[in-house]
Amino acid sequence: MYSYEKLLKFTEQIFIKMGCPAAQAKSGAEVLLSADLRGVDSHGVARLSGYVRLWESKRINATPKVRIVHETPSTAVVDGDSGLGLVVAPIAMKIAIEKAKNVGTGWVSVKGSNHYGIAGYHAMMALEHDMIGISMTNASPLVAPTFSLDRMLGTNPIAVAIPADKQPAFVADFATTTAANGKLEILQRKGTDAPMGWIQDKNGSQTPNPHELKNGGALLPLGGDRDHGSHKGYCLGSIVDIFSAVLSGANYGPWVPPFVSFLPMPANPVGEGIGHFFGAMRIDAFRPAEEFKLHIDNWISTFRNANAIEGEKVQIPGDYERNESIKRINEGIFLLPPVENDLKELSEKFNIIF
Amino acid sequence: MYSYEKLLKFTEQIFIKMGCPAAQAKSGAEVLLSADLRGVDSHGVARLSGYVRLWESKRINATPKVRIVHETPSTAVVDGDSGLGLVVAPIAMKIAIEKAKNVGTGWVSVKGSNHYGIAGYHAMMALEHDMIGISMTNASPLVAPTFSLDRMLGTNPIAVAIPADKQPAFVADFATTTAANGKLEILQRKGTDAPMGWIQDKNGSQTPNPHELKNGGALLPLGGDRDHGSHKGYCLGSIVDIFSAVLSGANYGPWVPPFVSFLPMPANPVGEGIGHFFGAMRIDAFRPAEEFKLHIDNWISTFRNANAIEGEKVQIPGDYERNESIKRINEGIFLLPPVENDLKELSEKFNIIF
């Protein structure tokens, strides 16, 4: 078990060694660690060596000049200048929040970025301002649209955070595939089968073998197959791709520069880096915030108290992650041996105590 | 087979007999018929007698004063004054478009409305303005969140329309459940089984029997079960519910006044009518519209040309509906005998030639 503070400090020091300015190293580390806190083990320090690998291959600029390249009162396009997505994303989300203060809502599409950690972190930045926060990003092309043999989309997550009054906030944060790639990576490590409906092999047949993804197979859009609505998951992933990358001028679809090491860089880029999309909506641009939040409390308690299947309960989006956070702050964060080894290697490479 | 013009005119006359002003009757009929054109048979004239039933029970006001009750430069809340959703929705979407002209984007949440036909119609209104259109609505509580026995949400659809240059527009329009209720109604009429993953019975077990919905069962969120991501479909349906109804002050969750006749009106309403949410984003609030549309053309042709499973092809959201529209304008619209009978009864009731 490792304490949150220890892993946070270690990550911050790695980013400083990469050349990040101190404030950005701190902010980026906080974003990365929010995944380890919230129980999204695949997106936290387990990926730290992946970020270092991208930096070593000159795909990450440690001192980016993040700037607005076009704007209107409610919108902006932000150029991340190849910075860490972990650093670029909060800057872009802050711009969305400032615009919402002025004209009710703010919407920011980002190009020239890299992977930004968990979508939920950025959406949740809106909560303290009594705003709804929205965050999405495109990602490594690993997903086959309905009936496709080719991998055309990322797991393209969507996060929406909605403030409540006495209840904890509603925080949805989910990949638009049946299962996130992180879940598959865990099965690959354990050598266990995946449920049918998560992946297809290179011939487009569903398979339980998690290794087929690296063998020309693909992740499947939410829904799994046509009969169960995979065309809807495909729609969602496409919308995330277009809002994040075609609105901003980033790479889209199969051109998204991959984070995973087993995919090559696509030739003939159609834009710059990967893309994100952020939104902030001021509650009182619609109705008084207190009134809204009391109704959200009622919404949450009504859903939480719905009659449930025996042995189960109806959860509210964000419940699991919030409970994990509390537990992990108190009890520490467990790392799998391969992740520990990764961090030890980074410790030696950068001469930082782990 | 019936011609589009004939069904349009018939519907318009019914709305006039209900007391709708001529322009609203025309606009509402066009929205309703767009479902019959686009192949969404469940949402077109098949529902005309349902709208009449709501009007007879005083739930629809034929002469609503649709008005903005609160606004900022990029947002508005619209009170539909219990009007036909078919009439209220285009008025609200126009407000979103006007706001986008001024400040880049426009976002409108609606209360006091009724069912608004297909979500896609309203989203597509943005296309001719070189804007992205977004449309969603809550609906009759028929859906059980993951692990719930109770029906807490509607099939809560989302539509997103994105303009292209030479390619036809990208138009996604889908229920946030495995299958829309209209598909189930078709199986109920035919007496055939549904795929597992569409519905659960009153004990929360998946069942192929489409009649279990009326027997205390429920539709399932997109994903079907927890292993296949039903919690993500539940998140999506919840977000639609909150944006449409809690932002505006409409009824939400299990309090949504049902369209289906087998559900009673919920007691102790928490708001007014049902809710919708509309968005319009001006493309050139992000980047030049021509540049964007050329990239969308490239996106569309790249996805359309992906290698496909034998005997299938990769479709673009909106392809099916557009092809149906062309066919049905040319060849006419087929109505099932129960729908024909419904329309004949309306013809007699209102003394209008069918």
Hey, is the C-beta of A254 within 8 angstroms of any chain B C-beta? yes
* Nearest one of B347, B31, B342 to B189, comparing CA atoms: B342
Checking if the pLDDT of A187 tops 90, the result is no
- Check whether A188 has a pLDDT greater than 90: no
Is A107–B232 a contact, with Cβ atoms under 8 angstroms apart?
A: no
Confidence of residue A184 (pLDDT cuts 50, 70, 90): confident
Mutate to test the interface with A, among B102, B230, B240, B299 (most CBs of A within 10 A): B299
Task: Output phi, psi for A170, to 5 deg.
Answer: -80, 120
Hey, what's the torsion of the CAs at A231, A235, A241, A243, to 10 degrees?
180
CA distance B104 to chain A (A): 6
Set of chain A residues whose Cβ sits within 8 Å of the Cβ of B318: none
- Cβ-based contacts of A73 with chain B (< 8 Å): 73-74, 103-104
| Chain A residues with beta carbon closer than 8 angstroms to that of B132 | 243
Give the CA-trace dihedral at B97, B100, B105, B108, to 10 degrees. -40
Burial of A108 (0-12, 13-18, 19+ CB in 10 A): buried
Nearest partner of A159 among A278, A239, A297, judged by Cα = A278
- Where residue A186 falls among pLDDT bands split at 50, 70, 90? confident
Mean pLDDT by 10 residues, chain B (354 residues): 98 98 98 97 94 96 98 98 98 98 98 97 98 98 98 98 98 96 83 94 96 95 96 98 98 96 92 98 98 98 97 97 98 95 97 95
Under an 8 A CB cutoff, do B174 and A232 touch?
yes
Residue pLDDT, tens place only, B212-263: 999 999 999 999 999 999 999 999 999 999 999 999 999 999 999 999 888 8
What average pLDDT does range A1-24 have in this prediction? 98
B268 in reach of chain A (CB within 8 A): no
Q: Answer yes or no: do B73 and A70 touch at CB < 8 A.
A: no
Is A339 touching B (CB cutoff 8 A)?
no
Which of A170, A198, A286 is closest, CB to CB, to B70? A286
Subunit contact B242:A299, Cβ cutoff 8 A: yes
pLDDT of B28 reads 98
Partner residue facing B148 (CB), from A179, A271, A308: A308
Question: Smallest Cβ distance to A307: which of B132, B148, B282?
Answer: B148
Contact A317 B103 (CB under 8 A): no
**What pLDDT score does B347 carry?**
98
| Strand-pair category, B75-79 with B67-72 | antiparallel
Interface test with A, best of B177, B303, B312, B320 (most A CBs within 10 A): B303
Contact B314 A254 (CB under 8 A): no
Contact B287 A152 (CB under 8 A): no
With beta carbons under 8 A apart, name residues in chain A contacting B312.
Answer: 147
Residues of chain B contacting residue A248, judged by C-beta atoms under 8 Å apart: 286-287
Alpha-carbon distance A4 to A332, whole Å? Answer: 6
Interface of B with A in 102-121 (CB under 8 A): 103-105, 107, 109
pLDDT at B145: 98
DSSP state of B194: P
The reported pLDDT for the residue numbered A180 is 86
Encode pLDDT of B261-295 as tens digits: 888 999 999 999 999 999 999 999 999 999 999 99
Confirm or reject contact between A28 and chain B (CB < 8 A). Answer: no
3-state helix, strand, coil in chain A (%, to 5): 45, 15, 40
**Which of the pair, A101 or B263, is modelled with greater confidence?**
A101
What pLDDT, on the 0 to 100 scale, is given for residue B189? 78
B 159-188 → A contacts, CB under 8 A = 160, 162, 170, 172, 174-179
**Model-level pTM greater than 0.95?**
yes
Q: Within an 8 Å CB–CB cutoff, is residue B294 touching chain A? A: no
Which tokens belong to B333? 């619209």
Q: What's the alpha-carbon Rg for chain B, to the nearest Å?
A: 20
Which chain B residues are within 8 Å of A109, Cβ to Cβ?
286
Q: Return the number of CB contacts < 8 Å for A and B.
A: 242
DSSP B211-254: GGGGGT-EE-BTTSSGGGTHHHHHHHHHHHHIIIIITTT---GG
Cβ <8 Å between A302 and B229: no
Higher pLDDT among residues B113 and A336, named by residue: B113
Check: complex ipTM more than 0.95 = yes
What pLDDT, on the 0 to 100 scale, is given for residue B295? 98
pLDDT confidence tier of residue A182, bands split at 50, 70 and 90: confident
Q: Which domains does chain B have, with CATH numbers?
A: 4-285 (3.30.1370.60)
